[in-house]
């Protein structure tokens, strides 16, 4: 299951968060592989590290007879385009190099993806079934005869496949994903994994939710005026919100009679305390999903319906499209008017996130439910989807929910997703897929007061409560514990509910530490114990939040912890008060990237996809909530990327209204290229392109579009599609995707990439191109050009390292300017005429790259050549491990069952043992057998708590291979499973353990050489004295003088 991530009422920022098993990732170059990492080869000098061999993505499953040419494939001239046909067999979709299945196929709920294309991307090729994918600029017509016939065909075929196993699908998907949610036994899962129609099997996960003045801070009133006024802003657009439901009685969703778009055909599903009448014209769709999460796991405080049980979904939905509400009060404080970004839009609620029963289930969202909700949302006809949910770690594009979102985008639906709240550390974000708009969180207003101590010192912090104007006695919460002992003091120090002694706290200003307990629950604990006010202090760097607390409160940064706590502990009668600020007392600036907002660079893309994409307000966002669990409040302040993502979704709805023919990626481009830097940072790994500016996005000048053909090319570049599929589509590096950003994770001196722009303005414009990236030179060809409205132009960009440090990121910007006046945005400055189109740039220069991760040869004496590409000028050294010999072992196995959780030899399972010494470079095992047989290989290491599964070779053939880099010392046990073989079927088994030293039978020529940056150097690998009755394996590693970025090539010699 997924766990979505949210910010509970005054809780720590989180989004409905996904907990996932280790997944294939492209490491940031320079990473040191983890011990026991399994690798598969690439040809670009980077190694895809994964937990199973031949695991390829269940990709976009696009059965494409014709795919529109990608913008990034355009070649020169004023225009680009033209359709090209594929040569893959009809109806087979993207033929993958292998399958992605879990490391352990245990009993449980799975999302199974099948080979053929879903309706959203099916462009013909299956006999008797017309194409169903929508034409560019049009929505998918789910009611058409072609779609109905084709989806029935998919569902019937998938049901037949599952029936043969005795398994019954809970849900069948056919719109944005061709798949099913199904409960399987371990044996059924193993059998299904071998079916040639199966592309992937993903075990159900639980994810968590990533959780006024925002419209004014973004300049939306001017945009609303241009769209016919506030009440019409978003008219004709439906936003689908995948979250915890909706509170229909909220003033943000008041009934209205404006027309529902005729393209929307969703339903209103009744349930606990929710009827069809709750779909009131503002709310036009309501569905809830329990098949993945399980009704038995839902808390009694939640509702078995679309009614919101936490407030998170109500907050995100009202942030995106909530009506204008006047004179909003939170408690006794007046906040004025509150509005969503697109108040004239409609909302469809898809409840996928649930409050779990305490001690039984985690609060969160199940991935099968998320997939089904995306499927339904696209079928219903939504224009925009918001997903304020995701994982605690980066999800690869192979996740079923990511793929469903890709097909939704191809069907014309814009999808916004929260980046996550695990910042400020690097590489903490989620949602790296290029078809998603991944949103970081920013501050947008200043709500502050000061703690003034009796000695006159003042400390400025976040506060939106009433002041505490009189000097009041202060007490450290940890000294007021109800329960004696260390545990009691710890709970009291955090101001946990019921932990404070009223006899000590009554009438006092209580100092509480942030952490573990939702922030507003701390002030509630203070109030319940009779406290007069609260000072909350961060024990470590983190955001400051002006929550609506139950007593006068101020939230201080970690640097104030020591002086404040020392004063309270040391003074005879410590006193303090919470007071408004003086005129120049605060130097807090806005906007800033929130401390909690997750950062890049992306690891699963090797840094070639720049994430997050952009930022929006996500700190102290005021929006509607559920009153029953918010102390009767109808509105409240919440923080998190859960709050920033629906702001982008709402603005995307405005762009869709203004430009109905724009693709989702054109909308994304417009938002990115018109964004601004934050007050104190332009770091693209924190802010992406920057804070959105909706008014400028309405008229961006140029856009950078990309779609399914580009994504196919990108995935082929990752070697996730075989070379003979879609032969008219050449593989591209991720840096070549036509995004409104530039990211290169592995630059060795220089690389040429392209970007294709389209003029979406109403007049011809002349653009000049220039870049500002310290340490790099980016040369554009052409460096200037003129485009008429609607014309496109491809620009070649030569990226060269000049002085940027190796293995470190160089960042800056690339600007296409037609402006007369300032040639760069500076805060709120705008050009007097024309447009400024600005792209964030992030490039990591590498010391070395090698063109082949593995070479092979034959004979007692022989050689192979590799090409080493240096990113520096200087000395390159090499080191050799091996070669070591193995005599292939002949064995046989019959078909049988294997329990990966309790591995044991027996009928159908053979066992081998390998001993790995300290300092070993690599362990490799492989099997080889006749065609038609299917073996699986499982590699475990003996650990203190049992066997640790480190790798699986689990393709549909009998030729399996598992490679563990830098394995930890110990005893390894290898199990060969006869999954589908005859009786006593013979096979060949090979096993190598390569030490970290040379065996003297492999030489590198030259072993050391002087490299010139950017000039590839041919290097010979020569072996000699090998016994041809054995097979040999080893490794050669090349390094720069500082050993900052070593690269390795494996060598195999047979016969």
End-to-end CA distance of the chain: 48
Q: Which residues touch 205 (CB under 8 Å, ≥6 apart)?
A: 1, 2, 3, 18, 19, 20, 366, 367
Read off the pLDDT of each residue in 890-916 and give the average, rounded to a whole number: 92
Which span out of 436-445, 513-522, 735-744, 971-980 was modeled with the highest average pLDDT? 735-744
Contact 242, 316 (CB under 8 A): no
Among the residue ranges 167-171, 398-402, 578-582, 1024-1028, the one predicted with the least confidence is 398-402
Supply the pLDDT for residue 721: 66
Listed in sequence order, the DSSP H helices in 358-485 are 367-380, 400-410
Angle separating helix axes 708-717 and 400-410, nearest 10 degrees: 140
pLDDT-based confidence at 219, cuts 50/70/90? confident
Burial of 254 (0-12, 13-18, 19+ CB in 10 A): middle
Q: What percent of the chain has pLDDT over 90?
A: 63
Sequence ranges of the chain with CATH classification 2.60.40.2310: 741-846
Residue 593 vs residues 217, 637, 931: alpha-carbon distances, Å: 15, 18, 56
Contact 354, 369 (CB under 8 A): no
Phi, psi values for residue 795, rounded to 5°? -115, 130
Q: Under the phi-then-psi rule, with left for phi > 0, alpha for psi from -120 to 50, and beta for the rest, what region is 882?
A: left
Contact 440, 612 (CB under 8 A): yes
The model's pLDDT over 856-897, given as tens digits with 9 standing for 90+, comes to 999 999 999 999 999 999 999 999 999 999 999 999 999 888
Question: Residue 11, Cα to own-chain centre: how many angstroms?
Answer: 22
Among the residue ranges 197-211, 273-287, 573-587, 946-960, the one predicted with the least confidence is 197-211
- What does the mean pLDDT of the chain come to? 86
Cα–Cα distance, 760 to 790 (Å, whole number): 6
Read off the pLDDT of each residue in 292-321 and give the average, rounded to a whole number: 96
pLDDT higher than threshold 70 for residue 42: no
Residue 894 vs residues 935, 979, 982: alpha-carbon distances, Å: 10, 8, 6
Supply the pLDDT for residue 725: 73
pLDDT-based confidence at 46, cuts 50/70/90? very low
Supply the pLDDT for residue 756: 98
Spot the catalytic one: 9, 173, 312, 549: 312
pLDDT higher than threshold 90 for residue 419: yes
pLDDT higher than threshold 80 for residue 246: yes
Supply the pLDDT for residue 168: 87
Spot the catalytic one: 523, 642, 669, 869: 642
Let me know if 766 is a catalytic residue: no
Identify the CA nearest to 843 among candidates 744, 942, 921: 744
914-943 b/e with 16+ CB inside 10 Å = b? bebeeebbbbbbbbebeeebbbbbbbbbee
Phi, psi values for residue 92, rounded to 5°? -100, -10
Spot the catalytic one: 243, 501, 608, 910: 243
Question: Residue 482, Cα to own-chain centre: how many angstroms?
Answer: 43
pLDDT higher than threshold 60 for residue 27: no
More confident residue, 160 or 446: 160
CATH architecture of 741-846: Sandwich (2.60)
Cα–Cα distance, 209 to 642 (Å, whole number): 7
The CATH code for residues 448-579 is: 3.50.30.30
Q: Which two tokens stand for residue 334?
A: 């007046």
The model's pLDDT over 495-510, given as tens digits with 9 standing for 90+, comes to 999 999 999 999 999 9
* pTM, 2 dp: 0.77
Contact 449, 601 (CB under 8 A): no
pLDDT-based confidence at 334, cuts 50/70/90? confident
pLDDT higher than threshold 80 for residue 36: no
Contact 489, 515 (CB under 8 A): no
Sequence ranges of the chain with CATH classification 2.60.120.380: 850-1054
The model's pLDDT over 74-124, given as tens digits with 9 standing for 90+, comes to 333 333 233 323 333 334 333 344 467 776 778 888 999 998 889 988 988
239: helix, strand or coil: strand
pLDDT higher than threshold 50 for residue 62: no
Q: Which two tokens stand for residue 1014?
A: 């950017």
Cα–Cα distance, 1018 to 573 (Å, whole number): 77
Question: Residue 652, Cα to own-chain centre: how many angstroms?
Answer: 19
Strand residues in 521-634 grouped as ranges (E): 533-537, 553-556, 575-579, 614-617, 621-624
Q: What percent of the chain has pLDDT over 70?
A: 88
Q: Which two tokens stand for residue 413?
A: 């639906």
Q: Which two tokens stand for residue 639?
A: 């923080």
Among the residue ranges 356-365, 381-390, 613-622, the one predicted with the least confidence is 356-365
Which span out of 136-140, 156-160, 226-230, 287-291 was modeled with the highest average pLDDT? 287-291
CB neighbours of residue 808 within 10 Å: 11
Cα–Cα distance, 697 to 178 (Å, whole number): 35
Read off the pLDDT of each residue in 482-498 and give the average, rounded to a whole number: 93
Let me know if 678 is a catalytic residue: no
Let me know if 639 is a catalytic residue: no
The model's pLDDT over 593-642, given as tens digits with 9 standing for 90+, comes to 998 999 999 988 889 999 999 999 998 899 999 999 888 889 998 889 99
The model's pLDDT over 825-866, given as tens digits with 9 standing for 90+, comes to 444 455 567 999 999 999 999 999 998 889 999 999 999 999
Q: Which residues touch 281 (CB under 8 Å, ≥6 apart)?
A: 255, 256, 257, 258, 260, 346
Cα–Cα distance, 291 to 288 (Å, whole number): 10
More confident residue, 1037 or 84: 1037
Cα–Cα distance, 529 to 520 (Å, whole number): 14
Supply the pLDDT for residue 360: 85
| Residues across the chain | 1055
Q: What is the DSSP string of 710-769?
A: HHHHHHHHTT-S-TTSSTTS----GGGS--SSEEEEEESSEEEEEEEEEE-SSS-EEEEE
Supply the pLDDT for residue 1008: 96
More confident residue, 829 or 551: 551
Contact 1008, 1028 (CB under 8 A): no
Supply the pLDDT for residue 620: 87
Question: The sheet that has 810-817: what strands, in order across it?
Answer: 742-747, 836-845, 810-817, 765-772, 784-787
Q: Which two tokens stand for residue 722?
A: 């075989």
Among the residue ranges 174-183, 330-339, 346-355, the one predicted with the least confidence is 330-339
Cα–Cα distance, 178 to 126 (Å, whole number): 15
pLDDT-based confidence at 186, cuts 50/70/90? confident
Contact 471, 454 (CB under 8 A): yes
Three-state SS for 107-123 is CEEEEEEECCCCCCCCC
Identify the CA nearest to 970 among candidates 911, 920, 913, 917: 917
Supply the pLDDT for residue 956: 65
The model's pLDDT over 687-702, given as tens digits with 9 standing for 90+, comes to 999 999 999 999 999 9
Supply the pLDDT for residue 900: 84
Cα–Cα distance, 428 to 395 (Å, whole number): 11
The CATH code for residues 850-1054 is: 2.60.120.380
Sequence ranges of the chain with CATH classification 3.40.50.200: 211-439+609-638
Supply the pLDDT for residue 1007: 96
Supply the pLDDT for residue 901: 83
Read off the pLDDT of each residue in 332-348 and give the average, rounded to a whole number: 91
For domain 211-439+609-638, say whether CATH 3.40.50.10800 is its number: no
Supply the pLDDT for residue 135: 80
Which span out of 233-247, 396-410, 818-832 was modeled with the highest average pLDDT? 233-247
Q: What pairing do the DSSP bridges indicate for beta strands 283-288 and 346-351?
A: parallel
Read off the pLDDT of each residue in 718-724 and give the average, rounded to a whole number: 69
The model's pLDDT over 756-807, given as tens digits with 9 standing for 90+, comes to 999 999 999 999 999 999 999 999 999 999 999 999 999 999 999 999 999 9
Residue 199 vs residues 116, 192, 196: alpha-carbon distances, Å: 9, 10, 8
């Amino acid at each position: 299951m997924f766990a979505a991530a949210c910010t509970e009422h005054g809780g720590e920022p989180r989004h409905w968060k996904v907990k996932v098993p280790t997944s294939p990732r492209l490491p940031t170059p320079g990473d040191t592989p983890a011990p026991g990492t399994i690798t598969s080869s690439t040809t670009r000098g980077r190694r895809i590290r994964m937990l199973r061999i031949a695991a390829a993505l269940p990709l976009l499953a696009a059965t494409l007879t014709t795919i529109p040419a990608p913008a990034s494939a355009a070649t020169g001239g004023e225009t680009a385009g033209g359709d090209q046909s594929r040569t893959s067999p009809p109806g087979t979709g993207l033929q993958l190099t292998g399958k992605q299945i879990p490391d352990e196929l245990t009993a449980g709920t799975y999302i199974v993806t099948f080979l053929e294309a879903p309706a959203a991307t099916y462009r013909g090729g299956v006999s008797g079934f017309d194409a169903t994918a929508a034409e560019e600029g049009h929505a998918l017509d789910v009611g058409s005869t072609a779609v109905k016939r084709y989806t029935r065909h998919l569902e019937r075929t998938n049901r037949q496949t599952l029936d043969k196993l005795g398994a019954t699908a809970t849900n069948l998907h056919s719109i944005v994903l061709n798949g099913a949610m199904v409960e399987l036994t371990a044996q059924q899962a193993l059998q299904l994994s071998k079916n040639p129609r199966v592309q992937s099997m993903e075990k159900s996960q639980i994810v968590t939710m990533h959780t006024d003045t925002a419209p004014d801070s973004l300049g939306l009133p001017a945009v609303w005026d241009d769209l016919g006024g506030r009440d019409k802003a978003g008219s004709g657009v439906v936003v689908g919100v995948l979250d915890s439901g909706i509170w229909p009685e909220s003033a943000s969703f008041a009934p209205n009679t404006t027309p529902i778009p005729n393209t929307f055909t969703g339903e209103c599903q009744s349930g606990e305390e929710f009827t069809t009448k709750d779909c009131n014209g503002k709310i036009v769709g309501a569905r809830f999903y329990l098949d993945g999460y399980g009704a038995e796991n839902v808390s009694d405080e939640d509702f078995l319906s679309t009614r919101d049980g936490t407030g998170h979904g109500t907050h995100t939905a009202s942030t995106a499209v909530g009506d204008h509400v006047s004179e909003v009060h939170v408690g006794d404080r007046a906040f004025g008017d509150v509005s969503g970004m697109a108040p004239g839009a409609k909302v469809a609620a898809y409840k996928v996130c649930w409050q779990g029963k305490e001690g039984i289930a985690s609060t969160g969202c199940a991935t099968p439910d998320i997939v089904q909700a995306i499927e339904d949302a696209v079928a219903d006809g939504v224009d925009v989807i918001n997903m304020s949910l995701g994982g605690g770690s980066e999800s690869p594009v192979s996740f079923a929910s990511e793929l469903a979102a890709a097909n939704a985008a191809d069907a014309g639906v814009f999808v916004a997703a929260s980046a996550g709240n695990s910042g400020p550390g690097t590489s903490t974000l989620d949602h790296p897929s290029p078809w998603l708009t991944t949103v970081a969180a920013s501050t947008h207003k200043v709500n502050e007061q000061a703690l003034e101590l009796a000695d006159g010192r003042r400390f400025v912090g976040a506060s939106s409560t009433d002041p505490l104007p009189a000097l009041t006695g202060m007490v450290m919460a940890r000294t007021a514990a109800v329960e004696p002992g260390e545990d009691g003091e710890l709970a009291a120090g955090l101001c946990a509910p019921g932990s404070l002694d009223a006899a000590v706290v009554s009438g006092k200003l209580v100092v509480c530490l942030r952490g573990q307990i939702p922030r507003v629950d701390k002030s509630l604990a203070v109030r319940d114990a009779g406290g007069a006010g609260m000072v909350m202090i961060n024990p470590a760097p983190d955001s400051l939040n002006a929550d609506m607390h139950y007593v006068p409160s101020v939230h201080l940064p970690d640097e104030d912890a020591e002086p404040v706590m020392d004063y309270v502990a040391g003074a005879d009668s410590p006193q303090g008060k919470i007071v408004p600020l003086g005129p120049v007392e605060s130097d807090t600036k806005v906007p800033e990237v929130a401390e909690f907002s997750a950062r890049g660079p992306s690891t699963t893309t090797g840094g070639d996809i720049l994430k997050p994409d952009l930022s929006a307000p996500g700190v102290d966002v005021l929006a509607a909530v559920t009153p029953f669990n918010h102390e009767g409040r109808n509105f409240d302040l919440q923080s998190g990327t859960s709050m920033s993502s629906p702001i982008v979704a709402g603005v995307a709805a405005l762009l869709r209204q203004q430009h109905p023919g724009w693709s989702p990626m054109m909308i994304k481009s417009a938002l990115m290229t018109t964004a601004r830097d934050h007050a104190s940072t332009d770091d693209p790994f924190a802010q992406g392109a920057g804070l959105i500016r909706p008014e400028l996005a309405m008229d961006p000048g140029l856009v950078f579009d990309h779609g399914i053909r580009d994504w196919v090319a990108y995935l082929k570049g990752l070697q996730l599609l075989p070379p003979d599929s879609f032969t008219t589509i050449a593989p591209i590096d991720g840096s070549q995707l036509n995004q409104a950003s530039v990211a290169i994770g592995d630059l060795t001196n220089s690389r040429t990439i392209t970007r294709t722009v389209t003029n979406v303005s109403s007049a011809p414009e002349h653009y000049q191109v220039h870049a500002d990236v310290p340490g790099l030179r980016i040369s554009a060809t052409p460096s200037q050009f003129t485009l008429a409205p609607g014309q496109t132009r491809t620009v070649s960009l030569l990226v060269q390292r000049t002085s940027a440090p190796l293995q470190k990121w160089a960042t800056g910007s690339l600007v296409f300017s037609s402006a007369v006046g300032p040639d760069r945005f500076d805060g709120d400055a705008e050009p007097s005429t024309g447009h400024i189109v600005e792209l964030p740039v992030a490039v990591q220069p590498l010391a070395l790259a090698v063109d082949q991760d593995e070479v092979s040869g034959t004979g007692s004496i022989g050689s192979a050549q590799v090409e080493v590409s240096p990113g520096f000028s200087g000395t390159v050294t090499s080191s050799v491990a091996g070669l070591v010999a193995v005599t292939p072992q002949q064995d046989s196995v019959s078909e049988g069952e294997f329990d990966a959780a309790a591995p044991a030899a027996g009928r159908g399972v053979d066992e081998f043992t390998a001993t790995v010494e300290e300092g070993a470079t690599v362990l490799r095992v492989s099997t080889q057998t006749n065609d038609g047989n299917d073996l699986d290989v499982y590699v475990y290491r003996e650990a203190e708590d049992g066997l640790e599964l480190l790798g699986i070779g689990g393709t549909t053939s009998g030729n399996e291979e598992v490679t563990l880099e830098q394995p930890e010392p110990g005893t390894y046990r290898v199990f060969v499973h006869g999954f589908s073989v005859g009786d006593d079927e013979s096979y060949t088994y090979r096993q190598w353990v390569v030490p970290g030293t040379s065996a003297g039978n492999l030489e590198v020529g030259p072993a050391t050489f002087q490299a010139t940056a950017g000039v590839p150097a041919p290097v010979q690998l020569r072996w000699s004295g090998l016994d041809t009755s054995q097979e040999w394996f080893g490794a050669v590693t090349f390094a720069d003088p500082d050993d900052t970025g070593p690269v390795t090539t494996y060598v195999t010699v047979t016969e």
